[in-house]
Amino acid sequence: MTMTRPPLHRRRPFLAGLLRQLPLLAVLVAVGVGLAMVAFEHWRRGLVVIGVALMAAGALRLLLPVRRVGFLAVRSRPIDVVLLAGVGAAVVAVALSIPGDDVGVPPLPPVTR
């Protein structure tokens, strides 16, 4: 007689719930890194990081099963993938298409009245 262990979601539902949210946590960390880069005046690189994180979220949503994707699953799979990848690609395209170098841009002159 062999005894099988019950699945993780029955043995430890809290831990299983946390593990289910790991894809969302990874995307949020990447977006946070991108926002920090924007805050420290590396706006172009920061926006590219944010866009790539959104495209990675679309890829995770496409590849992971529903029970593993957590809160990345908001709508149906095709809608989530198209929206996440599309917005990510648009952010990257806009960030890379704005002329000027983010390092060599002189600061704005002070306003005098």
Q: Tell me: the pLDDT tens digits for 25-71? A: 999 999 999 999 999 988 999 999 999 999 999 999 999 998 888 89
Q: Is the pLDDT of residue 16 over 80?
A: no
E strand residue ranges, 8-109: none
**55 lies in a domain?**
yes
Structure tokens at 19: 């593990």
Tell me the pTM: 0.78
**8 lies in a domain?**
no
**64 lies in a domain?**
yes
Check if the beta carbon of residue 27 is closer than 8 Å to that of residue 57.
yes
DSSP string, 91-110: HHHHHHHS-S-TTTPPPPPP
Q: Both ends of the chain: CA-CA distance in Å?
A: 89
- CB burial of residue 113 (10 Å; 0-12, 13-18, 19+): exposed
Q: What is the pLDDT of residues 77-89, one digit of tens each?
A: 999 999 999 999 9
**109 lies in a domain?**
no
- Count of structural domains within the chain: 1
Predicted pLDDT of residue 13: 75
**10 lies in a domain?**
no
Residue 39: domain span: 17-97
